[in-house]
């Protein structure tokens, strides 16, 4: 049975990827790469694990790993070669373009310079991850989509969220992680040299300190799923607000509840807190005091519940988290302190692949790694940290500006989702190497690029008011 499933998945992957590449080349539309990314990136790690389980071949894992780069290269080639006037095309450069370019150039400088202990290939693997962000942003910055393509793009993301929730339900009711069935622990040990930990033979990420299971569906881990849920919630929310049809409102309202369900299945404290902040941010964007009041009410209700009604285990779990006495929180704190100490001693940076847990990073030599801001700060110094913070600030600011000045409700969707998602991800960035969550990272950077394109094409109108 497993062999049959493997053959079916392998054929689907081969034929599906080939067909999307064919359509991209035939039509000259880079949008098909976006379809590929939405369908492929959520299952990117689980596919590697499953293929390795069935083949015991590192070559199969290598093919899965670099399929996304190949399809992205095709998309970039299509953009270049289908532009008849590319050299004469005028680009309206704004601040975020300059900051993004400076950030990638700084990373390239650390790639070619002798700074750091890691070999060139390890640094190149890490630089590739940063470059992916820039390329996807660039494609979003220049890609033109029809209303149908944009709607389908978002509906595919919501479809991914729905499928993840369904698998979460099966995992929860059976008490078995999907990752256990595909031998994820052995894959990590053999391919990535990361030994399984925890009570379930996976990693501590898949459980709380008290042993309660956390589920990731087909995403890389629960943290990856919870971050992707923040993106899906923003989409379901704006569709719920935008649609004039009651049946659609019921559909998108149900999807919002489903996404919240996945957040709790993943049991990520940072993402649950980020979700509440996301609601408050949406309230400010919409200037909706009722929504703002709802967000504040949720916070106070949670505090009251913890103080007076929660079980003793939950009470001390929250207390230990806030006081950094929880093992996970204490681990974050120690990683932060190690990273800050490195930045104080070497404010110029100690080199690529010297922090975090991305491709090329050696666990024996890494310094810190539980905070995306500090990871870039350790590797590329204070300048890298400042550029990354500036990049996120401009991404949120530019997206919300594009949203507020949009001339049509349909045009508002992309910048709203981009700005809201990037704001919601700020908190998870403090506790994880979150740019490695390729689905939410690359899709959100593509959305930011689209938002910049929308902003640059806008004619400011006094009647262009925010939705709601």
Report yes or no: 140 and 446 within 8 Å, Cβ to Cβ.
yes
pLDDT on residue 6: 87
- In this prediction, residue 177 carries a pLDDT of 94
- Position 150 scores a pLDDT of 92
d(CA 394, CA 283): 20
CA 102/CA 248 separation, integer angstroms:
43
pLDDT score recorded for residue 69? 94
pLDDT value for 468: 30
Please check whether residue 347 is in contact with residue 354, taking contact to mean a CB–CB distance below 8 angstroms: no
Please report, to the nearest 10 degrees, the dihedral formed by the alpha carbons of residues 193, 199, 205, 208 taken in order. -160
In the chain, the percentage of residues whose pLDDT exceeds 70 is: 88
- Distance, in Å, from the CA atom of 465 to the CA atom of 463, rounded to the nearest integer, reads 6
Q: In the chain, where are the structural domains located?
A: 2-184+212-457
φ/ψ of 231, rounded to 5, equals -65, -45
DSSP assignment of 60-82 equals HHHHHHHHHHHHHHHHHHHHHHT
Query: Are the CB atoms for 165 and 260 separated by under 8 Å?
Result: no
* Model pLDDT for residues 104-146, shown as the tens digit of each residue: 999 999 999 999 888 999 899 899 999 999 999 999 998 888 8
- Would you state the pLDDT for residue 467? 32
**263 backbone dihedrals φ, ψ, rounded to 5°:** -60, -40
DSSP state at residue 425 = T
Rounded alpha-carbon distances, angstroms, from residue 195 to 100, 111, 198, 203, 423: 36, 29, 10, 8, 34
- pLDDT tens, position by position, 61-114: 999 999 999 999 999 999 888 876 766 667 788 999 999 999 999 999 999 999
Determine the Cα–Cα distance for residues 317 and 296; give it in Å rounded to an integer: 22
Tokens representing residue 173 in the block? 């009711």
Long-range contacts of 253-262 (CB under 8 A, 24+ apart): 255/158, 255/161, 255/162, 258/161, 258/162, 258/165, 259/161, 259/165, 259/229, 259/232, 259/233, 260/229, 260/233, 261/165, 261/168, 262/161, 262/164, 262/165, 262/168, 262/217, 262/225, 262/226, 262/229
Query: Which pLDDT does position 369 carry in this prediction?
Result: 76
Q: pTM of the predicted model, to two decimals?
A: 0.91
Give 3-8's long-range contacts (Cβ < 8 A, gap of 24+): 3/54, 6/50, 6/51, 6/54
Instruction: Please give the Cα distance from 282 to 419 (Å, whole number).
Output: 10
What is the predicted pLDDT for the residue at 163? 97
| Residue pLDDT tens, the chain, 468 long | 778 888 899 999 999 999 999 999 999 999 999 999 999 999 999 999 999 999 999 999 999 999 999 999 999 999 888 876 766 667 788 999 999 999 999 999 999 999 988 899 989 989 999 999 999 999 999 888 888 999 999 999 999 999 999 999 999 999 999 999 999 999 988 988 888 888 888 988 898 777 788 999 999 999 999 999 999 999 999 999 888 788 888 999 999 999 999 998 998 878 888 888 898 899 888 877 676 776 677 777 767 866 766 666 656 556 655 555 555 666 677 888 888 999 999 999 999 988 887 766 777 778 877 789 999 999 999 999 999 999 999 999 999 999 988 877 778 999 999 999 999 999 999 888 889 899 999 999 999 999 999 988 865 443 333 333
From its phi and psi, is residue 203 left (phi > 0), alpha (psi between -120 and 50) or beta?
Answer: beta
Q: How far is CA 33 from the centre of its chain?
A: 17
Residue 250: C-alpha distances to residues 204, 292, 417 (Å)? 37, 22, 20
In a 3-state reduction of DSSP, which class is residue 210?
coil
Integer-rounded Cα radius of gyration of the chain: 22
Q: How far apart are CA 25 and CA 202, in angstroms?
A: 40
Q: What is the mean pLDDT of the chain?
A: 87
Q: Are 343 and 378 in contact (CB under 8 A)?
A: yes
Q: Are 349 and 376 in contact (CB under 8 A)?
A: no
């Amino acid at each position: 049975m497993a062999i049959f499933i493997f053959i079916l998945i392998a054929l689907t992957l081969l034929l599906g990827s080939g067909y999307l590449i064919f359509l991209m080349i035939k039509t000259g539309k880079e949008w098909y790469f976006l379809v590929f990314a939405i369908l492929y990136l959520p299952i990117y790690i689980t596919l590697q694990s499953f293929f390795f389980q069935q083949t015991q071949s590192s070559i199969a894992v290598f093919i899965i790993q670099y399929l996304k780069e190949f399809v992205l290269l095709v998309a970039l080639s299509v953009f270049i070669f289908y532009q008849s006037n590319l050299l004469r095309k005028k680009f309206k450069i704004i601040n975020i373009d300059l900051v993004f370019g400076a950030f990638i150039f700084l990373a390239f400088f650390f790639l070619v310079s002798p700074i750091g202990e890691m070999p060139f290939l390890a640094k190149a693997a890490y630089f590739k991850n940063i470059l992916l962000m820039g390329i996807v942003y660039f494609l979003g910055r220049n890609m033109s989509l029809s209303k149908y393509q944009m709607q389908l793009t978002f509906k595919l993301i919501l479809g991914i969220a729905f499928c993840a929730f369904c698998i979460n339900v099966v995992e929860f009711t059976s008490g078995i992680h999907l990752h256990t069935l595909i031998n994820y622990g052995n894959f990590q040990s053999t391919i990535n040299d990361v030994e399984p930990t925890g009570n379930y033979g996976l990693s501590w990420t898949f459980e709380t300190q008290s042993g309660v299971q956390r589920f990731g569906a087909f995403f890389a881990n629960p943290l990856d799923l919870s971050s992707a849920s923040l993106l899906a919630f923003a989409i379901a929310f704006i569709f719920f607000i935008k649609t004039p049809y009651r049946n659609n409102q019921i559909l998108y309202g149900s999807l919002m509840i489903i996404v919240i369900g996945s957040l709790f299945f993943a049991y990520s404290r940072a993402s649950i807190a980020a979700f509440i902040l996301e609601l408050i941010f949406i309230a400010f964007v919409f200037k909706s005091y009722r929504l703002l009041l709802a967000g504040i009410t949720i916070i106070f209700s949670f505090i009251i519940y913890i103080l007076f009604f929660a079980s003793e285990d939950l009470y001390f779990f929250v207390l230990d988290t806030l006081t950094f006495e929880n093992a996970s929180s204490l681990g974050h704190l120690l990683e932060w302190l190690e990273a800050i100490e490195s930045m104080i001693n070497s404010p110029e940076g100690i080199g690529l692949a010297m922090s975090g847990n991305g491709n090329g990073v050696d666990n024996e030599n890494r310094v810190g790694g539980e905070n995306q801001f500090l990871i870039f700060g350790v590797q590329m110094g204070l300048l890298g940290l400042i550029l990354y913070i500036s990049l996120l600030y401009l991404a949120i600011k530019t997206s919300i500006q594009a949203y507020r000045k949009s001339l049509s409700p349909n045009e508002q969707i992309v910048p709203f989702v981009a700005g809201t998602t990037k704001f919601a991800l700020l908190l998870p960035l403090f506790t994880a190497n979150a740019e490695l969550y390729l689905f939410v990272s690359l899709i959100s950077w593509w959305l930011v690029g689209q938002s910049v394109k929308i902003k640059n094409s806008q004619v400011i109108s006094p009647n262009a008011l925010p939705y709601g």
